[in-house]
Amino acid sequence: MRNDLLAEVRAENLAKANAARKGKDSTKKTTQLLQATISGLDASRRSLVEARASQIPERSLRAYVRAIAGKSLRSAVTAFCSECVGYSRKDVRNCTSLACPLWSYRPFQKPKKV
Ligand code: SF4
């Protein structure tokens, strides 16, 4: 019984440590991509992108950086929608601007039921 409890606690701690490490790795990669992207931009755009990136919450930064790097149209839509509603995924999902050209493509929609 006690060993089961200890094993459960160890598994939980391992899962937490892995989640924390994964988050740090992801943040590090985003930061590296941001630095590489910014350094590749022309001077007139560099400071504007840098200033904007500094205002974006960490969990939304990756999509913005990928969009700025020209790596993904999907990321561009995600970044635009996120910025549009103040970085609330719930507000993007529940967006009521039905006439917006991005509405059908907005991220964070609930998966369609099969
Ligand atoms: S779909 Fe909604 S959240 Fe996305 S850009 Fe249009 S108005 Fe903004």
pLDDT computed for residue 72 by the predictor = 94
pTM of the model: 0.75
Find out whether the beta carbon of 84 lies less than 6 Å from any atom of ligand 1. yes
**What is the DSSP secondary structure assignment for residue 10, as one 8-state letter?**
H
Tokens matching residue 96: 């009521």
Mean pLDDT of 81-96: 97
Closest ligand 1 atom, CA of 81? 4
The DSSP string of 21-79 is: HHHHHHHHHHHHHHHHHHHTS-HHHHHHHHHHHTTS-HHHHHHHHHHHTT--HHHHHHH
Residue 110 lies in a domain: no
Residue 114 lies in a domain: no
Residue 113 lies in a domain: no
Closest ligand 1 atom, CA of 102? 1
Find out whether the beta carbon of 97 lies less than 6 Å from any atom of ligand 1. yes
pLDDT computed for residue 85 by the predictor = 97
Residue 63 lies in a domain: yes
Residue 13 lies in a domain: yes
Find out whether the beta carbon of 69 lies less than 6 Å from any atom of ligand 1. no
Q: How far apart are CA 71 and CA 77, in angstroms?
A: 12
Handedness of CA 31, 32, 36, 39 (dihedral sign): positive
Between the CA of 102 and the centroid of ligand 1 the distance, in Å, is: 6
Find out whether the beta carbon of 100 lies less than 6 Å from any atom of ligand 1. yes
Residue 72 lies in a domain: yes
Residue 21 lies in a domain: yes
* Residues 62-88: tens digit of each pLDDT: 999 999 999 899 999 999 999 999 999
Among residues of the chain, what percentage have pLDDT more than 70?
A: 77
What are the residues whose beta carbons fall under 8 Å from the beta carbon of 67, sequence distance 6 or more?
Answer: 75, 76, 78, 79, 80
How sure is the predictor about 111, in pLDDT bands with cuts at 50, 70 and 90? confident
Q: Please name the amino acid found at residue 83.
A: E
Residue 69 lies in a domain: yes
Between the CA of 12 and the centroid of ligand 1 the distance, in Å, is: 38
Domain count, the chain: 1
Residue-range definition of the domain harbouring residue 17: 2-105
